[in-house]
Structure 1
């Protein structure tokens, strides 16, 4: 299950450490090919590293609450759309440290409805009602948009 309580960043949850993520990236990858994205003016629930490989650039996203990592194809840093991809090489590098989420998991459609004042999410989850209300407000279309979000 991916949608664990607190994963959105709106409720208390365990946390991953950005400094540990940076250390893993620098030690596992060519340090000249690693750039960390610091966003100004955006509130997000993930850390982001741009990995420059021979023929492509890949963004590694690490949820700031749970040790879930995913990869996107090259995109603008402030672009809110995440073109998630599977990358075997990067999955092998990061899987000893984090749970690598795949394209299929991240692109699962979000299905919810209202029941009286409550929001009911049909996807398997343990989210708090506060998070579900945020979900109803921001209207993510996929699980990946919940796990990696710019909600404030």
Structure 2
């Protein structure tokens, strides 16, 4: 499955996923277990719902352009590294709505080089030129760093 699709970084042109729908689904599934919902913010390309399940906090991340979801353990807000985790029970709940990305997919190394003006990404992708330039600038290390980012 192609994950690094054109627009996934949040740079136009890009499709979009509805924040309100994600928020509604989270509250309908978890109700009072929702600790926080962090929606669209400048420079951030994903939405985040923080829930508490069985004495642990889980951050549910949803890319703002494509219906790609991931789970991460507790982390500091605005920290660029995400410790992605596998949550099979949560995956089952969200599977009817979103494509759940596995930690192995997200932790895959991002391989790219720059030769003059030309940027060559060896990881499967169809990113557009603006996004390729952002890769060089922000220097993401993994696919997950691209899918869930705080780039301006």
Bin the TM-score by the shorter chain: over 0.9
Partner of 2:20: 19
How many angstroms apart in 2 are the aligned matches of 1:43 and 1:115?
27
State the secondary structure of the residue aligned to 1:72. Answer: strand
Question: Which residue of structure 1 aligns with residue 143 of structure 2?
Answer: 143
Aligned-partner SS, 1:113 = strand
Q: Which residue in the other structure is 2:6 paired with?
A: 5
Structure 1 residue 115: Cα displacement: 3.1
Alpha-carbon shift at residue 13 of structure 1 (Å): 1.4
Comparing 73-82 and 97-106, the one that deviates more: 73-82
The whole-number CA distance in structure 1 between the counterparts of 2:74 and 2:40 is 16
What do residues 84-141 of structure 1 show as CA deviations (whole Å, max 9, x unaligned)? 0010011011111000000000000010012331111000000001100100100000
Q: What is the alpha-carbon root mean square deviation over aligned residues?
A: 1.3
Per the TM alignment, residue 38 of structure 1 is displaced from its structure 2 partner at its CA by: 5.0
Residue aligning to 1:71: 71
Number of equivalences = 150
Q: TM-score scaled by structure 1? A: 0.94
- 4+ aligned runs moved over 4 Å, structure 1: none
Q: Give the secondary-structure state (helix, strand or coil) at the position aligned to 1:91.
A: helix
Q: Matched residues in 2 for 1:129 and 1:118: separation? A: 9
Q: Give unmatched runs, 5+ long, in structure 1.
A: none
Q: Distance in 2 between matches of 1:38 and 1:128?
A: 25
Asked if the contact 2:7/2:13 (under 8 Å) is kept, the reply is yes
* 1:98-109 map, 5 Å: 98-109=98-109
Please say if 1:124 is aligned against 2:124: yes
Q: With structure 2 as the length reference, what TM-score do the two structures score? A: 0.94
In the alignment, is the contact (CA less than 8 A) between 1:37 and 1:77 conserved in 2?
Answer: no
Structure 1 residues 63 and 38: CA distance shift in structure 2, 3 A: closer
Quote the Cα distance in structure 1 between the aligned partners of 2:32 and 2:142. 33
Q: Shift in Å at residue 147 of structure 1?
A: 0.2
